[in-house]
Amino acid sequence: MSGTAGGSAENTSWEGASKAAELSGKVTYMHSGDDYEREMYANVFKSYQKYAPNVEIEQMYVPSDYSTKLKTLATADNLPDLFWASESTVKDYNDAGMLANMNDMLAEYPQLTEDIIDGVLDFGNIDGNQVAFPKDWTSYVMYINRDLFAEAGVEVPTNDWTVEDYKEIAAKLTQKRDDGTVDVYGTAVNNYRADWINWMGNYGAEWFKDGKSNLSSPEALEGLKVMSDVIEAGSAPSPGSVSSTGDSEDRLFIIGKVAMYPSGRWVIPSFRSECDFEWEALEMPKGTTRSCPFICSMVCISDKSENKDIAANVLSYQMSDEGLKLVMESALSLPVYSDLMKDESFVNTPPSADAFINSAEYLGSSSQLAVSKTGKWAEYNSMIVAALSDAFEGNTTIEEAVSKIDEQANSTLFN
Amino acid sequence: MSKVRLLNKKTGGLTLKQKEAATGIGFILLPLISLAVLMYYPIIRSFFISFFDWNLLSDPVFNGGENYKTLMKDEVFFQSLKNTLHWVVMYVPMSVITSFLLALLLDRKLKGSGFFRTMYYLPVVCPIVVVALLFVWIYNTDYGILNFILKELFHIDPIGWLTDTRYSLFAIAVMSVWKWAGYNMLIFLAALQGIDESLYEAAALDGVKPMTLLFKIKIPLVMPSIYFVMLTAVIDAFQMFTEIFIMTKGGPGYSTYTVSYYLWSNAFEYNKMGYACAMAAVMFVIIMVVTLVQNKLMNKKVQYDA
Amino acid sequence: MVKKKRSNFLAYVAVILVAIVVILPFVWMVVSAFKSQRELFAFPPTFFPTEWKWENFVEAASRGSISFLHMFFNTMKIAVPSTVFNIIFSSLAGYAFARLRFPFREKIFMAFLAAMMVPFAITLIPRFLMFKDLGFYDTYVPLIVPVMFGTPFSIFLTRQFFMTLPKELEEAAIVDGCSHVRIWAQIFMPLCKPIIATLTVFQFQSSYNDFMGPVIYIASDAKFTIQMGLSSFRNSFTSRYDLIMAGSILALIPVVIIFICCQKYIVRGIAMSGLKG
């Protein structure tokens, strides 16, 4: 699998090139994301059209309220030919008959699944049918501000650090004035599924077990406690104190008010252009074990599409080395192919790629996979967000929060 | 008399009366069709959907009164109702008193009152999205200007306006008072200015004290406006969505879930369309009851004043 | 007299204090819009930006897949027809309810009034299905049609106003054989400028500020409205308060202009509508 930048069927390693030349028609491709991504995909489509001069791709970019938009389109019987769907919504969409079965496409384009990272296909596979294809993924890592470490005289940890180290370092990095004003927080906490799944997973929690919510299991609780502990210790702002909906932590990292911050790869472009200090990415600290949440946008093909052939060809190009290179350049996400993970032109630096490469080894968990197949993620997610926000803001304890979640979820959703 | 005769005169086969009726119906025809098709038909259809299990994507499945049964056991729904009620109890007096005081203030024919009136009305024309985003920023616990001012002036420790369950709803209510006071003020101002001058003159002759004037004349006479403002506030409480969607997403916990927000989440996030419609039906009934009760009270009050 | 003067002085102090409370959030919005990100999160906060970053406005206006100006024109395509037709149809209906006798007049009027009490969430879903079935998904039709043929509030307001006008006004015209359309157009409408101004502001503002409607009905980004553009700034993980504030100010300008043009009529408009005691 090596790609050249060429644009003709002769000098490309992309398997779909000759078919592309024969295709003609129009497909619509809908995606979310931000402006960077819009431009990136515009590039991918432009370069695809060099192979497929008779194919027109209409790009539909939806900056906010993506799933509302997708559902209304589905209801309106107006689905785009290709669209993104988060791994947690695939089941719903499949049940509604929106998704085309991709098994034949995978057979037609073997490069699609060659060298693919273990387990990533499972999230788009329902009862043996591949109905969604993971276009990329992002692991969760800890970003650190090296300058603030130096300032506090704290040594930058190595990838084998533990949760105990993390808490201790977070406390050391926090700079508090006598009047209680905090100038620098050691770390930050997001009330976001990737964060909880990560921390719970690092204690080997089976937080969704036998079709039931199991957040009050000791392992899950221990994982979630990492988050509430750093808040209680004053080493992290409560997620709501930064913004009531808890989504500004990356800003605080960029302006040097937070020294360590767990997040996905998608923050890298803005960190690169906006951070005026040395920064690095580490693996998430180890609890009793490690487990990385699978955060991914899947590409789906509408079952109603009249141009599934073209759609499959576009998908195959997007996933080819050539197409992926255009996307991975931005460092918003990671390739799903293990050989490309080690290739610097796909996983570029800074930050160093180790944390990302290593995290592919412990990607995904049975709990996350099971819950994504219930089709009730959205509602379950709201329950967890609601109860945990109460705990993180100090209105209840974390123990109360998890038992409330389990009770509520198991009596209404998973009964 | 001439009018009566005219009305009975035939013009082109129709009496004038018939012609007038035809014109009247002609004038209201399009609004009436629009009302029937876009208001009443959706209400009926929504009620119909409330008896189905429907995820918006697949075909609806009839499930009898199951949605209503679930609703009666739904803690979050009751919490949302409770929040809405809590909101009404908190917001309505704050809003009515503030706007009424503003109206009293501007009713004194001060120089430049037109300028102040315009200024007070400014928040009303602001997009709610803008206002909500602005107040998220002002209310920010760590970096918001409000906590900074409180700390500098009164040495008050930072308050989690939108994150502490004790304050979140209150903080949104204060924002709404700021946003809507100008509108309600205008309604009160119009009512105050509609009071017959001679009443004031008579009161002045009798040596009535300003306070007595306020409570015995002004307030009773603007009572219908006060009812109008209150009723609107109650209905708006059930409508409240955008503020929540932008500012808190219902959190922390369920402390700022409103009925509209929960309904929207069910319909568009959890794909439970039938369930959302059942919620809408219950909400409709509640609003009708509130309106009827308020109407009754209002009629009584007005008769009493007359 | 002295007492009166003193109470007037106190009243001035009060109106000015209130004005400050009203205006302060706007001032904060403006100064925040000019700050750098770092300064936004500075503690203690600075009031005026140390460096006025005009770039924020440029970035706010050009971010997103279509320009701010484009979104502005899109919004106008909804707000202008909604407002203009709403005023015409509402005042015609208001005229009919106030002046013309026809069967079930009071009952029909009540049906309009009752509709004022119905929250949008109740009609949202069936309306969506209906417009989608008619093929109006991703057009402005679902955003214009529900208001263009008159809304209960506008009809109510014009009816209340027309009721206060003396009957003699149109009697002579009727005797002369004038049609009701002419009476409405040539006698009543010129008299109700304040109502028209009030409705213009209300209707324009509610179309312009509508957020849920476009989110639900509009799919292609070329058709995005200003409110959608604003909310996309708030995309998760990219909260940029500097840009949000700058964008908000840009979004505010058109409504504020319309309001200032119409403001002198508005109190009269509400007063005339008979919402008084």
How confident is the model over C40-73, as pLDDT tens digits?
877 678 888 888 888 888 888 876 667 888 888 9
- Please give the residue of chain C at the shortest CA–CA distance from B228: C275
Q: Are residues B41 and B184 in the same domain?
A: no
Residue of C nearest to B180 (CA): C22
Instruction: Return the amino acid letter for A213.
Output: S
- Write out residues 221-250 of C within 8 Å (CB-CB) of A: 221, 228, 231-232, 234-240
CB < 8 Å to B23, chain C: 96, 100, 179-181
Shared domain for B27 and B74, answered yes or no, is no
Distance between CA A31 and CA C78 in Å, rounded? Answer: 26
Q: Do B36 and B90 belong together in one domain? A: no
pLDDT value at position B237? 85
Give the containing element (helix H, strand E) for C34: none
- What is the Rg, in whole angstroms, of the alpha carbon atoms belonging to chain B? 25
Evaluate whether A189 touches A195 at the Cβ level (below 8 Å). Answer: yes
Pick C101's closest partner by Cβ from B24, B128, B276.
B24
Chain segment B233-261, per-residue pLDDT in tens: 888 888 888 888 888 888 788 889 998 89
Distance of residue C239 Cα from the nearest chain A Cα, in angstroms: 6
Q: How many CB atoms lie within 10 A of CB A310?
A: 25
The predicted pLDDT at position C138 comes to: 84
Whether residue C227 lies inside any domain: the answer is yes
Q: What is the mean pLDDT of residues B14-31?
A: 87
Does B21 contact C118 at a Cβ distance shorter than 8 Å?
no
Give the domain range for residue B301: 67-305
| Least CB–CB distance from B136: residue in A244, A386, A389 | A244
* Distance, CA of A1 to CA of A50 (rounded, Å): 20
Chains touching A (at least 3 CB pairs under 8 A) are B, C
CA-to-CA separations, A386 to A56, A84, A395, B253, C110, in angstroms, rounded: 44, 26, 11, 4, 42
Q: Does C137 touch chain A (CB under 8 A)?
A: yes
Chain A contact set for C37 (CB, 8 A): 251, 254-255, 274
What are the start-end ranges of the E strands in chain C? Answer: none
Residue B210 lies in a domain: yes
Q: Which CATH number goes with the domain that contains B267?
A: 1.10.3720.10
Token pair recorded at residue A143: 């970003």
A384 touches chain B (CB under 8 A): no
Q: Contact at 8 Å (CB) between A312 and A27?
A: no
Q: B125 with B239, same domain? A: yes
Q: Does C134 contact chain A (CB < 8 Å)?
A: no
On whether both B154 and B16 belong to a single domain, the answer is no
- Residue-wise pLDDT tens digits, B125-138: 888 888 888 898 88
Task: Check: CB of residue A352 under 8 Å from CB of residue A281.
Answer: yes
pLDDT for A273 equals 83
Most B CBs within 10 A among C20, C23, C102, hence the mutation to make, goes to C102
Q: State the total domains in chain C.
A: 1
Query: In chain A, what residues touch C217 (CB-CB under 8 Å)?
Result: 72
Whether residue C41 is contained in a domain is answered as no
d(CA B68, CA B60): 16
B113 CB neighbours in chain C (<8 A) are 15
In a domain, B61, yes or no: no
Query: How many angstroms separate the CA atoms of A387 and B255, rounded?
Result: 10
The per-residue pLDDT for A247 is 53
CB contact under 8 A, A266 and C239: no
From chain B, pick out residues whose CB is under 8 angstroms from the CB of C195.
none
Q: Is residue B55 part of a domain?
A: no
CB-count exposure of residue C6 (10 Å: 0-12, 13-18, 19+)? exposed
Alpha helix (H) residue ranges in B158-272: 168-193, 197-205, 210-212, 219-239, 242-247, 259-264
**Chain B contact set for C226 (CB, 8 A):** 127
User: Residue B237: what residue type?
Assistant: A
Lowest mean pLDDT among A144-153, B99-108, C208-217: C208-217
- B241 and B287 both lie in a single domain: yes
Whether A37 contacts A333, CB under 8 Å: no
Percent of chain B with pLDDT over 70: 93
From A250's Cα to the closest Cα of chain C, the distance in A is: 7
Distance from CA of C125 to the nearest CA of B (A): 7
Say if residue B176 is in the same domain as residue B27. no
- Would you state the pLDDT for residue B304? 40
Label the pairing between strands A55-61 and A25-31.
Answer: parallel
Q: Supply the CATH number for residue C72's domain.
A: 1.10.3720.10
> Quick one: C30 exposed, middle or buried, by C-beta within 10 A (0-12, 13-18, 19+)?
middle
Q: Are A171 and A186 in contact (CB under 8 A)?
A: yes
Determine the pLDDT at residue C270.
Answer: 66
**Does any CB of chain B come closer than 8 Å to the CB of residue A93?**
yes
Query: How many other C-beta atoms lie within 10 A of the C-beta of residue B232?
Result: 18
pLDDT at B52 over 90: yes
Q: Does C48 touch chain A (CB under 8 A)?
A: no
Residue of chain C with shortest Cα separation from A68:
C216
User: Distance (Å, rounded) from C-alpha C175 to C-alpha B223?
Assistant: 41
Beta carbons within 8 Å of A16's beta carbon, 6+ residues apart: A51, A109, A313, A316, A317, A320
Interface test with C, best of A67, A251, A252 (most C CBs within 10 A): A251
Q: How far is the alpha carbon of C68 from chain B, nearest alpha carbon, in Å?
A: 15
Is the dihedral angle over the CA atoms B205, B207, B211, B217 positive or is it negative? negative
| Beta carbons of C145 and B69 less than 8 angstroms apart | no
Residues B35 and B74 in one domain: no
pLDDT at residue number A404: 93
Match 């009723």 to its residue by tokens: B231
Greater model confidence, B216 or A398: A398
Rounded distance between C-alpha atoms, residue A305 and residue A351, angstroms: 40
Same domain, B204 and B288: yes
Question: Within 13 Å and on the Cβ side, how many CA atoms surround A14?
Answer: 31
Q: Give the residue numbers spanning the domain of C136.
A: 63-272
Q: Specify whether B221 is located in the same domain as B254.
A: yes
Minimum-distance CB partner of C119 among B113, B142, B260:
B260
- Chain C nearest-CA residue for A29: C220
pTM: predicted TM-score of the whole model, two decimal places = 0.85
Q: Which of chain C's residues have a Cβ under 8 Å away from the Cβ of B46?
A: 122-123, 125-126
Is C210 a domain residue?
A: yes
CB atoms B24 and C256 under 8 Å = no
- Which domains, and CATH codes, for chain A? 17-138+295-360 (3.40.190.10), 146-291+376-412 (3.40.190.10)
Please report whether residue B62 resides in a domain: no
Question: How many angstroms from the chain centroid is the CA of residue B114?
Answer: 26
Kindly list the residues from chain B whose CB atom is less than 8 angstroms away from the CB atom of residue A414.
none
Nearest Cα of chain A lies from the Cα of C259 at a distance, in angstroms, of: 30
Give the mean pLDDT of B24-41.
Answer: 93
The chain-wide mean pLDDT, for chain B, equals 84
> Could you tell me the two tokens for C246?
């700058």
Say yes or no: B106 and B218 in one domain.
yes
Residues B87 and B233 in one domain: yes
The 3-state secondary structure of B106-151 reads HHCCCCCHHHHHHHHHHHHHCCHHHHHHHHHHHHCCCCCHHHHHHH
- B146 Cβ contact partners less than 8 Å away, ≥ 6 residues apart: B138, B139, B161
CB-CB neighbors (< 8 A) of B162 in chain A: 240, 244
Query: What pLDDT is stored for residue C237 in this prediction?
Result: 42
Binned at pLDDT 50, 70 and 90, residue C218 comes out as confident
- Which of A34, A75, A78 is nearest residue C235 as measured by Cβ atoms? A34
- Residue that the structure tokens 């533990």 belong to: A162
- Closest partner CB to C125 (pick from B46, B145, B186): B46
CA distance C163 to chain B (A): 15
Domains: count for chain B:
2
pLDDT (0 to 100) of residue B1: 41
Sequence-separated (6 or more) residues with CB below 8 Å from residue A218? none
Is C67 within 8 Å of chain A by CB? no
Q: Do B20 and C146 touch (CB under 8 A)?
A: no
Q: pLDDT tens digits, chain A, 415 residues: what are they?
A: 334 444 455 678 899 999 999 999 999 999 987 777 888 899 999 999 999 999 999 988 887 778 877 887 887 778 899 999 988 888 888 988 899 999 999 999 999 999 999 888 998 999 999 999 999 998 899 999 999 999 999 999 999 999 999 999 999 999 988 877 788 999 999 888 899 999 999 999 999 999 999 999 999 999 999 999 999 999 998 877 665 544 567 888 888 889 999 999 988 988 888 888 999 999 999 999 999 998 888 999 999 999 999 999 999 999 999 999 999 988 888 999 999 998 888 898 888 889 999 998 898 888 999 998 888 888 899 999 989 988 998 889 999 999 999 999 999 889 8
* Chain C residues touching residue A257 (CB < 8 angstroms): 41
Out of B46, B190, B287, the one facing C275 most closely (by C-beta) is B190
Using an 8 Å CB-CB cutoff, list chain A residues near C66.
none
Q: Judge: B142–A237 Cβ closer than 8 Å, yes or no.
A: yes
| Residue C254 lies inside a defined structural domain of this protein | yes
Position C173 scores a pLDDT of 82
Residue B274 has pLDDT above 50, yes or no: yes
What is the spatial distance between Cα C3 and Cα A273, in angstroms, rounded to a whole number?
65
Helix B75-107 to helix B219-239 angle (10° resolution) is: 150
Q: State whether residue B268 sits within 8 Å of chain A by CB.
A: yes
Q: Which residues of B touch C112 (CB under 8 A)?
A: 31, 35
